[in-house]
Structure 1
Amino acid sequence: MDIQGVVAEGFEPVRDAFARNFEVLGDRGAAVAVYRDGRKVVDLWAGTRDADGAGGPAWSEDTAVVVRSATKGVAAAVPLLLHQRGLLDLAAPVSAYWPEFKAGGKDRTTVRDLLAHRAGVPALDRNLTPAEAVDGTTGARETAAQRPFWEPGTAHGYHAQTYSWLLSELVLRVTGRSLGAWLAEEIAEPLGVDFWIGLPGAEAHRVGRVAQVDPPERAGALRTRPRRNVSEAYADPASLTRRAFAAIDPLPDENAPEWRAAELPASAGIGTARGLARFYAATVGVVEDGARIFTPAMTALAGTEVSAGPDRVLVVNTRFGPGYMLHGPASPLLSPASFGHPGRGGSLGFADPSAGVGFGYVTNALAKSVTADPRAQSLIQALRKSLT
């Protein structure tokens, strides 16, 4: 595999692991980037831009792809910055900003509960069509009316799809702007980050096509943890796991222009590995040109545990801060200080304040992994080796 890009001295193990992802773990087109103490030390890409065709154009330096739930980590910066600016109180009830949300016994659900998957509405009694999911009104209305599956604040369960409508409507009520517009104007453009929740038409030519693939099982392939039963739970149509992931039914065509343009902060963000890495680097420090997103206090808050233990949707033990998945057995990151978010199928972005690291990995070959894809884990292990 012809690997393009550069690595700083000492980070060669990351390049080796990235090449192995293509040779052993089934990558087709992908990129990885790492910032250390505000400086870019890894910037690599390889393969083909479109995973669903034979051959085709090569992955280029500025190729972007949909990153599914890795979108959640970028989107979470919006409410946290609103909190940092004194415009949003994480301890306040969601209904203080969105009165309709109090329906069905959710009146005491706090903004912090919402961000940490404790709101009790990971699924809907009526699944939405793809058109309803992106129309800007139906999702918020149905989620506000939904009776919770547990008493909000008493347990947590991954809000795989409903997180889109929860977060979007909250930000709209507080700012008067859509979350995608706020992100673009207040974070992505000032920071110079290639990441969109709602892809502009002018950027469509850069976006690669994703496809579901089954990476080969090879001798010596990385195994990060024992087989879990989330797949069995997903196979049960009556399970909360299946209902949460299938809140949009039928599943949309993620390569369709209308899906790429949708503002769905749970699942439809599009970006580059470099964009993810630069974003996360700016949450823990100052990047190369002096930009920073979070204050030190906000960095500490982002990595503060809010939810931990059995996840009622993912059926394993998970850990969440306010908007971010935290390091743990279900989603191993660089260290216990790390916070970020994986995307189902492979992509991953995270920050590690203890190491001064911002990390981004994106792929167009979407595997069956939910939280700890072997390709991303291989890169993390190589990065850890590079830092020792």
Structure 2
Amino acid sequence: MSPGRGGSPRTARRITASSLRDLVRDRLATPLGADFQIGLSTKDLHRVSDVIVPVFDVDPSVLDRGSAAYRTFTGPAFSAGAANTADWRAADLGAANGHGNAASVADVLSPLVTGSGAGPSLRPDTVDLIFREQSNGVDLVNGLHVRWGIGFALPDRRTLPWLPGGRIAFWGGWGGSMAIADIDRRMTISYVMNRMDADLLGSSRAAAYVGAVYDVVRGSR
């Protein structure tokens, strides 16, 4: 198991009266049979792999002290190695503390593409909301050009040139992990790892694996 990403615990509790940890477990992971959880349970500690921190880590000293990036990376300062601590692993941190493997990340995205199939699914009109563009420009923290829908980034060659076009919702984790829901092709793709690259979004390994999947899909048609 390795750490991934999620949503807002406060929003989840306000809307459903459940913690994000419980919501993901009860509404997604358990019905889907996905080996995924927000905040690692004590009984699974022996299964988790340590993050191997990249040679490059965030160095706030090179940033403009008045920038959003500086305030983010110094409020407080942090290192990727924090993900290896017991407190981090146990915390309910939706944006940074999903634990699972690549298969389970793909599983929890599957309600976006399954329609009325088995297990939890979302109505097409709900999925359509993802693709209402909310912003399109340079992220003030990571410096990347990102086109945002609702809850997910949307394809843009300036963000990840190796993603194809179409109705694709995606995001990735610091170090190279990637989660993709391709609505048009009715498939999900996930790549996770414990040896981090220095990349803030995607990596050469993620690009190679995702590219191979799309090569197979194109070749089968």
Distance (Å, rounded) in 1 between the aligned partners of 2:16 and 2:120: 21
* Alignment match of 1:296 (pick from 124, 129, 136): 124
Identity percentage of aligned residues: 27
Corresponding residue for 1:320?
A: 148
Task: Sort the Cα spacing of 1:237 and 1:209 in 2 relative to 1 into closer, same or farther, 3 A.
Answer: farther
Q: Any unmatched runs of 5+ in structure 1?
A: 1-63, 76-166, 216-230
Question: Contact 2:110 / 2:187 at 8 angstroms: preserved in 1?
Answer: yes
Please give the secondary structure, in 2, of the residue aligned with 1:253: helix
| C-alpha RMSD of the superposition | 2.4
In the alignment, structure 1 residue 179 sits paired with structure 2 residue 30:
no
Please give the secondary structure, in 1, of the residue aligned with 2:118: coil
Using the TM superposition, give the Cα deviation of residue 320 of structure 1 relative to its aligned residue in structure 2, in angstroms. 1.0
Please give the secondary structure, in 2, of the residue aligned with 1:363: coil
- Counterparts of 1:190-229 in structure 2, within 5 Å, are 190-214=31-55
Distance (Å, rounded) in 1 between the aligned partners of 2:215 and 2:193: 22
The aligned length equals: 213
Using the TM superposition, give the Cα deviation of residue 292 of structure 1 relative to its aligned residue in structure 2, in angstroms. 3.2
Distance (Å, rounded) in 1 between the aligned partners of 2:211 and 2:132: 23
- Counterparts of 1:127-166 in structure 2, within 5 Å, are none
TM-score (norm 1): 0.51
Q: 1:215-234 deviations in whole A, cap 9, x for unaligned?
A: 9xxxxxxxxxxxxxxx8988
Using the TM superposition, give the Cα deviation of residue 254 of structure 1 relative to its aligned residue in structure 2, in angstroms. 0.8
- Counterparts of 1:1-388 in structure 2, within 5 Å, are 64-67=1-4, 71-72=5-6, 75=7, 167-214=8-55, 235-236=62-63, 238=65, 239-251=67-79, 253-285=82-114, 290-328=118-156, 329-332=158-161, 333-388=163-218
Question: Contact 2:60 / 2:73 at 8 angstroms: preserved in 1?
Answer: no
Task: Sort the Cα spacing of 1:309 and 1:234 in 2 relative to 1 into closer, same or farther, 3 A.
Answer: farther
Please give the secondary structure, in 1, of the residue aligned with 2:175: coil
Task: Sort the Cα spacing of 1:373 and 1:250 in 2 relative to 1 into closer, same or farther, 3 A.
Answer: closer
Corresponding residue for 1:52?
A: none
Q: Any unmatched runs of 5+ in structure 2?
A: none
Distance (Å, rounded) in 2 between the aligned partners of 1:278 and 1:234: 40
Question: Contact 1:303 / 1:326 at 8 angstroms: preserved in 2?
Answer: yes
Which structure ranks higher in relative contact order (CA pairs < 8 Å, sequence separation ≥ 6)? 1
Distance (Å, rounded) in 1 between the aligned partners of 2:183 and 2:151: 16
Question: Contact 1:237 / 1:243 at 8 angstroms: preserved in 2?
Answer: no
Question: Contact 1:241 / 1:314 at 8 angstroms: preserved in 2?
Answer: yes
Distance (Å, rounded) in 1 between the aligned partners of 2:24 and 2:61: 32
Stretch moving more, 231-240 or 361-370: 231-240
Distance (Å, rounded) in 2 between the aligned partners of 1:196 and 1:171: 15
Distance (Å, rounded) in 1 between the aligned partners of 2:40 and 2:29: 12
Please give the secondary structure, in 1, of the residue aligned with 2:84: coil
Question: Contact 2:173 / 2:202 at 8 angstroms: preserved in 1?
Answer: no
Task: Sort the Cα spacing of 1:308 and 1:180 in 2 relative to 1 into closer, same or farther, 3 A.
Answer: same
Task: Sort the Cα spacing of 1:237 and 1:66 in 2 relative to 1 into closer, same or farther, 3 A.
Answer: farther
Please give the secondary structure, in 1, of the residue aligned with 2:181: strand
Distance (Å, rounded) in 1 between the aligned partners of 2:38 and 2:135: 26
Question: Contact 1:279 / 1:358 at 8 angstroms: preserved in 2?
Answer: no
Question: Contact 2:115 / 2:124 at 8 angstroms: preserved in 1?
Answer: no
Question: Contact 1:302 / 1:323 at 8 angstroms: preserved in 2?
Answer: yes
Question: Contact 1:195 / 1:276 at 8 angstroms: preserved in 2?
Answer: yes
Q: Which amino acid aligns with 2:93?
A: L
**Which one has a bigger Cα radius of gyration?**
1
Please give the secondary structure, in 2, of the residue aligned with 1:350: strand
Using the TM superposition, give the Cα deviation of residue 250 of structure 1 relative to its aligned residue in structure 2, in angstroms. 4.0
Task: Sort the Cα spacing of 1:283 and 1:210 in 2 relative to 1 into closer, same or farther, 3 A.
Answer: same
